[in-house]
Amino acid sequence: MSTTTTYKSWVLNEYVKGELNKDNFRLVEQPLPKDIPTNHVLIRTLYVGFEPAMRPSISLGKSYREPHPLNTPMWAFGIGVVAESKSSRYKRGQKVVGMLDWSEYTVLPEKEVWPYDADVGLQHLSALSAPGVAAHVGLVAVANVKKGDVVLVSAAAGATGSVAIQVAKAVGASRVIGIASKSKCQSVLDNGADACVDYTSPNFESDLRKATNRKVNVYFDNVGGKILDAALPCMAMFGRVALCGMIAEYNKIGADAAEKFGIKNLIVAVSQSLTLRGYVVIKGLTPDDDLRRANRELTQWIKEGKIKASIYDFPQPGIEHCPDALKGLLVGQNTGKMTLRIAKDAREVLAASSSKL
């Protein structure tokens, strides 16, 4: 039994309008549960991952996620170690993954926990979590990417974009072009893109037209706003646009309509016979077969070394920094998946063949 008697979690204090700040959340301390229910495990959190989708879920504006309930721990997918078990599937000391929240400890039913695979490692939070699955489903199931296609990816240095580039290559795209800010373009090229266009340049639109030669068969859009608007005129006839996310617009949820970006080039969808399709990788909204295929192929490609999403380890570890990590993600501090070490010994525990508590 652990000697710890209390643990800390961040709960949502209030719904957010515009940019978030630390007061939107509240750090609470509570006693560790003494009795956990049958078929449940108590998990000590090692790492959690941060998602842009956390931002819409803490506002009351319309989005694809229900507003997160006030005064409850913020959600996050994470890696942990079983501290107490009343489950026949998981034993004390076993490393696991699941929805561990912004919390040092979480009790979960065994059916909501999965074993941690050391060959996958931190990619559990990235290539094998929402970003990687969204990259695979968007390209393969939504945009039906084919061998020889020209593929364009925005937010290409991020967790989702970096996997999208590698998935496009894995399925045989002839040319893959990323869009990112200048300082992140090298990482886009390192991930296998043939070219990277800096969207912060004053010549962004003409640079994009040159890099794509207006022959994009598949555009994987993570950003929306002016980037989507600039990409539309670069599409080839019968092009497909997978609308994965609109990170440029998330801080405007709940803001006045005048602050939101109005797409001007949508008429190209008519002249080029384009298909634009949005999707969300949540069970029930994406067919199970597509989710299963994504998990199967991504696991295989990770183990074969074909896919490796970049991981950004937030510089200050500890539960205290959860709001800072989310804030950092929303201003692009991270190159790759934003992760936070909740337990200061997380690296050692993951490296050890048998876990210590």
Ligand X SMILES: NC(=O)c1ccc[n+]([C@@H]2O[C@H](COP(=O)([O-])OP(=O)(O)OC[C@H]3O[C@@H](n4cnc5c(N)ncnc54)[C@H](OP(=O)(O)O)[C@@H]3O)[C@@H](O)[C@H]2O)c1
Q: Which two tokens stand for residue 318?
A: 């500890």
Helix 288-303 / helix 159-170 crossing angle, nearest 10 deg:
80
| Binding residues for ligand X restricted to 113-152, rule: CB under 6 A | 130-131, 134
> Which is closer to ligand X, CB of 205 or CB of 345?
205
Interacting stretch for ligand X, rule CB under 6 A, among 8-16, 38-46, 93-101, 241-249? 241-249
**Would you list the DSSP string of 147-200?**
TT-EEEESSTTSHHHHHHHHHHHHTT-SEEEEEE-GGGHHHHHHTT-SEEEETT
One-character DSSP codes across 28-69: EEEEPPS---TTEEEEEEEEEE--TTHHHHTSSS--SSPPPP
127 vs 274, which CB is nearer to ligand X? Answer: 127
Q: What is the C-alpha separation between 302 and 308, in angstroms, rounded? A: 6
Q: At closest approach, how far in Å is the CB of 169 from ligand X?
A: 17
Helical segments of the chain, H only: 54-57, 130-136, 159-170, 185-190, 204-212, 225-231, 268-271, 288-303, 322-330, 346-351
* The binder of ligand X chosen from 41, 159, 319, 350 (CB under 6 A): 159
What is the closest distance, in whole angstroms, from the C-beta atom of residue 81 to ligand X in the complex?
25
Q: Answer yes or no whether residue 52 interacts with ligand X by CB under 6 A.
A: yes
**84 makes contact with ligand X (CB under 6 A):** no
Segment interacting with ligand X (CB under 6 A) among 50-58, 74-82, 93-101, 289-297: 50-58
98, β-bridge pairs: 78, 113
Q: How many residues does the chain have?
A: 357
Q: Does residue number 310 form part of the binding site for ligand X (CB under 6 A)? A: no
Least distance in Å: CB of 117 to ligand X?
A: 21
Binding-site member from 244, 274, 294, 343 for ligand X (CB under 6 A): 244
The contacts of residue 331 (CB under 8 Å, 6+ apart) are none
Which among 273, 184, 261, 252 is positioned nearest to 224, based on CA atoms?
261
User: Of residues 94, 191, 334, 355, which one binds ligand X by CB under 6 A?
Assistant: 334
Q: How far is the CB of 339 from ligand X (least distance, A)?
A: 10
Q: Which stretch binds ligand X (CB under 6 A): 275-283, 287-295, 318-326, 341-349?
A: 275-283
Q: Which of 142, 241, 281, 343 binds ligand X (CB under 6 A)?
A: 281
Compute how many other C-beta atoms are within 10 angstroms of the C-beta atom of residue 209. Answer: 15
Q: Which stretch binds ligand X (CB under 6 A): 98-106, 169-177, 242-250, 263-271?
A: 242-250
Among 222, 299, 339, 355, binds ligand X (CB under 6 A): 222
Residue 243, both tokens: 């609308």
Selected from 41, 157, 197, 294, the binder of ligand X by CB under 6 A is 157
Per CB under 6 A, the segment of 27-35, 93-101, 240-248, 262-270 that binds ligand X is: 240-248
Name which position in 58, 125, 128, 180 contacts ligand X (CB under 6 A): 180
Smallest gap from Cβ 39 to ligand X, in A, equals 29
* Buried/exposed 161-198: b ≥16 CB within 10 Å, e otherwise: bbbbbbbbbbbebebbbbbbeeebbebbeebbbbbbbb
Q: Is 51 in the site for ligand X (CB under 6 A)?
A: yes
Burial class (CB within 10 angstroms; exposed 0-12, middle 13-18, buried 19+) of 271: exposed
199 is a contact residue toward ligand X (CB under 6 A)? yes
Least distance from ligand X to the Cβ atom of residue 340, Å: 13
Question: Taking CB under 6 A as the rule, does residue 53 contact ligand X?
Answer: yes
| Closest to ligand X by CB, 182 or 303 | 182
Q: Could you tell me the two tokens for 4?
A: 């710890």
Q: Which residues bind ligand X (CB under 6 A)?
A: 51-53, 130-131, 134, 155, 157-161, 180-181, 184, 199, 222-223, 227, 244-248, 279-281, 329, 332, 334, 337-338
